[in-house]
């Protein structure tokens, strides 16, 4: 903060009181997001509002107003109430002169004789008037001692905000105006920093951005009980409630438990329980590090490792199996935790790598691609957006493993459903990640395979651009829906699209006949992949491959019904009827694809698919007639 940003000298703005005694600035476009990013100058303006408002209501100087809001932790309501209830008590508490002392003629004395000498109350030297400074109490101290006193107080810490007169027997406050004038430039900056920190840290509606090195604060307008993600101007995204990284779909309590669980000390307990045994006598944990079953504890008790009986009684003749449920359960818990932790950490590393790729693409890649492909940089923004989506999806996927770890194992139906949704999310994200990473490199590096004539290059670029934009959108939509479903604990009302019957071996759809193949086909349509095959002229071969693939015939879990995919087709129809452009769609190819699906769906009895495709064909024909 610059030294000339004195909070008393800033321009005023309209002020609005909030319910907790704080002042809110008028809502702007940022407030529609329920929060606002605050820079130093914004915080200073808000502090100035507090001080000006209090000074105006109570008819006190601004130094006194600042002392009041600091004493009452920036709660104006309480400051006003206490002042009007017992003014003398408040005056004493903040170090303000009492009304009687204010009226005392000795307090009002002035030193008009420039030749008079005054004795400093610290060094006891005599100084002329221009070398002496006073507080409200009028105790004289030389400016050198004042500067040393103020500098020492500021360097000690935030208590400099409520500074008192240097005279030990005097409890009168030293106002900000005196402190700022006599402090050095360096100390003045520290003083303002303490003041800003005091305002932010005492205000329950404001938090610092937790990103290292970021000096922004975030003001929230409505206090929310659930986790609420905030995006700082420094690009850091964090949860408002716990200040940890944004962790949807899990709540703040779960992330706290997961963090503790990940501590080495916490897991040591489970490891000790799983891979050590307690001495039957002293109960100390013992790890077996040799082949012999004869154990000798440090308490000198000798016992059998297998049955824990005294060695002289057992002597290795304990071949009857007795299950130790405690040890078995501990080993199971360790294996289960390891499964989820490894995948959590793997996605965290992938997220960090994707973040590096995003920053590299934003800083260097777009410009390089622009020069190589002779394109404007704004036409390549879709690549940056794709990488942003990858980073966000990796984060959601990472925390979904913590979510799965805390799902009750006894709720097998919910667990199977969760694992299916998670698996689909991983598959969709891998497609997007592969396209943004590998196919981009192929697009740039395969000069022998690509047609780099002007027309050929445009076609190649359009195909790649269309595919990446489409995958970015559908992957983002899927993850948004996944987060909502998980946040609502996979409740039935949020998952009507996943209408299922549970049977031994997993989920099966409500529809009859042989839905797996048609389901797989329509799923590819939903992800926008077959649309890309159309443009590449690969529809027929790839379509047949999908029809005969083992994965299509034997899906482990089938969740979405054919009706749900029909809804996707009907959404396309709706867009077409409303003349909303669908980029890079060849409607003749789309009709040809529908004809193939109609033929196949008729063969397997998927009536809903056939009806939806017929509707799409008719809509395509009507649209072509309009053109």
- Angle, CA of 620, 622 and 626, to the nearest 5°: 115
Per-position b or e across 366-378, b if 16+ CB within 10 A of its CB: beebeeebeeeee
What is the C-alpha to C-alpha distance for residues 9 and 180, in angstroms, rounded to an integer?
Answer: 13
Q: Is 228 helix (H, G, I), strand (E, B) or coil?
A: coil
Say which residues have a Cβ less than 8 Å from residue 243's Cβ, sequence separation at least 6: 207, 210
Taking CA atoms, 303 is separated from 20, 123, 328, 354, 433, in Å, by: 66, 79, 21, 54, 57
Closest CA to 291 of 280, 279, 306, 278: 306
What is the C-alpha to C-alpha distance for residues 250 and 254, in angstroms, rounded to an integer?
Answer: 6
Closest CA to 2 of 174, 216, 191: 191
Question: On the CB side of 5, how many CA atoms lie within 13 Å of its CA?
Answer: 19
- Element containing residue 545 per DSSP (H, E): helix 539-548
Task: Give 546-569 as a DSSP string.
Answer: HHH-HHHHS-S---S-HHHHHHHH
Say which residues have a Cβ less than 8 Å from residue 352's Cβ, sequence separation at least 6: none
Give the max Cα distance, the chain: 113
Q: Is 463 helix (H, G, I), strand (E, B) or coil?
A: helix
What is the C-alpha to C-alpha distance for residues 305 and 287, in angstroms, rounded to an integer?
Answer: 10
Quick one: 272 exposed, middle or buried, by C-beta within 10 A (0-12, 13-18, 19+)?
middle
How distant is the alpha carbon of residue 323 from its chain centre? 45
What is the C-alpha to C-alpha distance for residues 570 and 594, in angstroms, rounded to an integer?
Answer: 13
* Among 142, 234, 292, 393, the one annotated catalytic: 292
Closest CA to 553 of 517, 603, 506, 518: 517
100's tokens: 């009687």
User: Going along 29-160, which residue ranges are E strands?
Assistant: 35-38, 117-119, 126-128, 132-133, 141-142
Is residue 292 annotated as part of the catalytic site, yes or no? yes
Taking CA atoms, 19 is separated from 95, 138, 201, 205, 407, in Å, by: 28, 40, 18, 11, 38
Q: What is the DSSP letter of 278?
A: E
513's tokens: 């006949």
What is the C-alpha to C-alpha distance for residues 222 and 502, in angstroms, rounded to an integer?
Answer: 42
Active-site annotation, residues: 292
């Amino acid at each position: 903060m610059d030294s000339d940003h004195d909070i008393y000298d800033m321009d005023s703005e309209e002020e609005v009181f909030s319910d907790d005694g704080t002042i809110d600035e008028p809502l702007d476009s940022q407030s529609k997001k329920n929060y606002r990013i605050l820079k130093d100058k914004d915080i200073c303006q808000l502090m100035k509002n507090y001080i000006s408002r209090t000074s105006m209501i109570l008819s006190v100087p601004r130094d006194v107003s600042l002392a009041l809001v600091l004493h009452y932790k920036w709660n104006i309501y309480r400051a006003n109430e206490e002042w009007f209830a017992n003014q003398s008590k408040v005056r004493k508490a903040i170090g303000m002169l009492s009304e009687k002392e204010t009226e005392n003629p000795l307090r009002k004395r002035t030193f008009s004789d420039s030749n008079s000498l005054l004795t400093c109350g610290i060094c006891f030297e005599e100084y002329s008037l221009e070398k002496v400074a006073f507080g409200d109490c009028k105790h004289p101290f030389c400016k050198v001692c004042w500067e040393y006193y103020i500098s020492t107080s500021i360097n000690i810490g935030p208590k400099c905000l409520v500074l008192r007169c240097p005279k030990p027997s005097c409890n009168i406050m030293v106002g900000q105006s005196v402190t700022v004038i006599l402090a050095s430039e360096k100390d003045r900056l520290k003083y303002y920093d303490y003041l800003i920190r005091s305002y932010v840290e005492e205000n329950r509606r404001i938090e610092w951005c937790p990103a290292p090195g970021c000096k922004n604060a975030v003001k929230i307008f409505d206090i929310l009980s659930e986790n609420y993600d905030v995006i700082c101007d420094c690009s850091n995204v964090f949860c408002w409630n716990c200040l940890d990284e944004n962790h949807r779909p899990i709540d703040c309590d779960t992330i706290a438990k997961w963090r503790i669980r990940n501590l080495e000390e916490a897991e040591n307990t489970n490891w000790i329980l799983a891979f050590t045994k307690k001495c039957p006598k002293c109960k100390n944990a013992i790890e077996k590090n040799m082949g012999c079953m004869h154990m000798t504890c440090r308490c000198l008790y000798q016992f059998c490792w297998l049955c824990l009986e005294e060695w002289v009684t057992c002597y290795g003749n304990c071949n009857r199996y007795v299950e130790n449920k405690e040890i078995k359960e501990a080993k199971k818990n360790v294996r289960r935790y390891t499964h989820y932790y490894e995948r959590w950490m793997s996605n965290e590393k992938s997220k960090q790598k994707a973040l590096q790729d995003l920053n590299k693409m934003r800083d260097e890649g777009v410009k390089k691609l622009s020069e190589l492909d002779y394109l404007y940089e704004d036409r390549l923004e879709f690549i940056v957006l794709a990488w942003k989506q990858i980073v966000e999806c990796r984060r959601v996927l990472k925390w979904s493993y913590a979510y799965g770890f805390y799902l009750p194992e006894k709720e097998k139906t919910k667990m199977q459903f969760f694992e299916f949704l998670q698996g689909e999310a991983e598959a969709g994200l891998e497609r997007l990640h592969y396209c943004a990473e590998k196919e981009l490199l192929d697009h740039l590096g395969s000069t022998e395979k690509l047609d780099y004539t002007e027309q050929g290059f445009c076609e190649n670029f359009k195909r790649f651009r269309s595919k990446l934009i489409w995958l970015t959108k559908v992957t983002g939509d899927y993850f948004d829906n996944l987060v909502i479903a998980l946040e609502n604990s996979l409740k039935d009302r949020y998952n009507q699209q996943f209408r299922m019957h549970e049977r031994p071996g997993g989920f099966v759809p409500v529809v009859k006949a042989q839905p797996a193949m048609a389901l797989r086909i329509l799923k590819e349509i939903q992800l926008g992949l077959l649309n890309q095959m159309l443009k590449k002229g690969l529809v027929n071969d790839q379509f047949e491959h999908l029809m005969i693939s083992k994965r299509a015939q034997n899906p482990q879990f089938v969740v979405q019904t054919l009706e749900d995919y029909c809804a996707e087709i009907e959404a396309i129809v709706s867009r077409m009827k409303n003349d909303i452009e669908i980029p890079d769609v060849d409607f003749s190819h789309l009709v040809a694809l529908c004809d193939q699906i109609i033929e196949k769906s008729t063969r397997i009895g998927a009536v809903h698919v056939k009806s939806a495709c017929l509707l799409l064909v008719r809509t395509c024909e009507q649209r072509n007639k309009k053109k």
